[in-house]
Amino acid sequence: MRTQVAIIGAGPSGLLLGQLLHNHGISNVILEQRSGEYVLGRIRAGVIEEGAADLIDRAGVGARMRREGLVHEGIEISFGGKRHRIDFRKRTGKAVIVYGQTEITRDLMDGRAAAGAETVYEAENVSLHDIQSGRPRVRYRKNGTEHEIQCDFIAGCDGFHGVSRQTISESAIRTYERIYPFGWLGILCDTPPVSPELIYANHERGFALCSMRSRNRSRLYIQCRLDDHIEDWPDDRFWGELKLRLDQQAASRIVTGPSIEKSIAPLRSFVAEPMRFGRLLLAGDAAHIVPPTGAKGLNLAASDVHYLWQALAAYYDEKSAAELDGYSARALARVWQAERFSWWMTTLLHRFPEGSGFDQRIQGAELKYLVGSDAAQTSLAENYVGLPY
């Protein structure tokens, strides 16, 4: 089989890139190792920046997000028993949309099916070949038969554990990493949100986040130990712990119910440089990871895809490789801004097990500065709603 761009991975990066390329007349095939159902079963991001929302519109699949997504014009930061609102609209003129990654993925899948573009689910043993040549190839196995795709470019959109980045020789890639000494325990629950806006709580027992998916579905997280297991956290214990970490008013508004999903995620910052190796271009979690505190992972995947599809369009429309040559540097400049913000939010809001009294006093001072300073609130707001592409 031959196509112009072979895309590895049908997460948000791969599906969004595929749709934008397809709409522009650039042929592509997506290879995904899991089933479509499995991909839709992963509960992940919930906050969409305006830039990412515009790109989803541009891909032609934004109608449901615009209809059902909740526009949020601020967040609340809770510490010392009080909540403080950061007003995005006032500080930046912008807002974010709360709409689940699962729903975006579903909309992109539906769009792709309607467009008649090919996705191979349950593709096994995907391997990349000749990425430094002008004629790269991808091989995979499906239902016991070996297949090969010849293409002009390979887009590695296969997440942190994918095969694309691992194909690159170690001497050609440089990685930067921080692993945080805690995780997030998250539950999804069909109960109304604690508050109309997201609450990010700093508490001596650890961080907590009250988020949502809709007016009757809550997504809640608490900081947990890295060696905690799901079985250690029956629903009652989760609700009890969340209550302790919120201010009294928010705690009194919690409506408990059985969890419909529960998972533990470790927190990590990671960047691989560069993001291009010959004819292989990395995008999204395949190239970088942020801790979820800044709600940036999915949004960074979208900005990578924005730069990448424009570069590929310029290559095919104008026979110019200049934008492709600049892809890695352009994408990484924005990646590092989001890495900094996500690291800062994580450091500001979590309890570090090894943290000294000095560290805690500095954290307290930073929180007080934030809620007392217009400049500090503007800085948080402009990063949270998303820096320009």
- Active-site residues, by number, are 72, 200, 292, 296, 384
- Taking the complex as a whole, the smallest distance from the CB of residue 14 to ligand RFL amounts, in Å, to 6
Distances in whole angstroms, Cα of residue 48 to Cα of each of 95, 107, 123, 301: 9, 14, 29, 11
Euclidean distance between CA atoms 246 and 233, whole angstroms:
18
Strand ranges in the chain using DSSP code E only, listed in sequence order? 5-8, 28-31, 47-48, 70-72, 74-79, 82-87, 96-98, 118-120, 124-129, 137-142, 145-150, 153-156, 174-189, 199-201, 208-214, 217-224, 259-273, 276-277, 280-282, 288-289
Which of ligand RFL, ligand PHB, none does residue 386 bind to, with CB < 5 to 8 Å depending on kind?
none
Binding to ligand RFL by residue 163, rule CB under 6 A?
A: yes
Taking the complex as a whole, the smallest distance from the CB of residue 123 to ligand RFL amounts, in Å, to: 6
How many residues bind ligand RFL (CB under 6 A)? The answer is 37
* Relative orientation angle of helices 12-23 and 101-115, to the nearest 10 degrees: 30
Considering beta carbons, is residue 51 or 292 the nearer one to ligand PHB? 292
Cβ(245)–Cβ(205) below 8 Å: yes
Work out whether 297 is an interface residue with ligand RFL (CB under 6 A): yes
Maximum Cα–Cα distance for the chain, whole Å?
63
The 3-state DSSP class for residue 6 equals strand
Nearest-5° angle of CA 264, CA 268, CA 272? 135
- The single residue among 14, 46, 51, 183 that binds ligand PHB, judged by CB under 6 A, is 46
Task: Confirm or reject binding of residue 102 to ligand PHB (CB under 6 A).
Answer: no
DSSP conformational letter for 294: G
Partner whose binding site includes residue 157, from ligand PHB, ligand RFL, none (CB under 5 to 8 Å by kind): ligand RFL
**Interaction partner, residue 39 (ligand RFL, ligand PHB, none; CB < 5-8 Å by kind):** ligand RFL
Query: Which residue, 120 or 362, is less far from ligand RFL as judged by CB?
Result: 120
Which tokens is 63 given?
Answer: 């109608």
Report the residue closest to ligand PHB, judged by CB. 46
Our finding on whether 211 is near ligand PHB (CB under 6 A) is yes
Residue matched to tokens 């839709």: 40
Measure the CA dihedral 256/214/291/280, to 10°: 140
State in angstroms the smallest separation of the CB of 301 from ligand RFL. Answer: 4
- State the binding string over 337-366 for ligand RFL (x if CB under 6 A, else -): ------------------------------
Q: Please identify which residue in 4, 23, 27, 34 interacts with ligand RFL, judged by CB under 6 A.
A: 34
Task: Tell me the C-alpha distance between 35 and 40, whole Å.
Answer: 9
The residues facing 175 across adjacent strands are: 272
Q: How far is the CB of 74 from ligand PHB (least distance, A)?
A: 13
Query: What is the rounded CA–CA span in Å between residue 141 and residue 216?
Result: 42
Near ligand PHB in 54-83, by CB under 6 A: none
User: Please, what is the minimum distance in Å from the beta carbon of residue 375 to ligand PHB?
Assistant: 22
Among 5, 11, 92, 272, binds ligand RFL (CB under 6 A): 11
Query: Contact residues for ligand PHB (CB under 6 A)?
Result: 45-47, 198, 211, 219, 292-293, 295
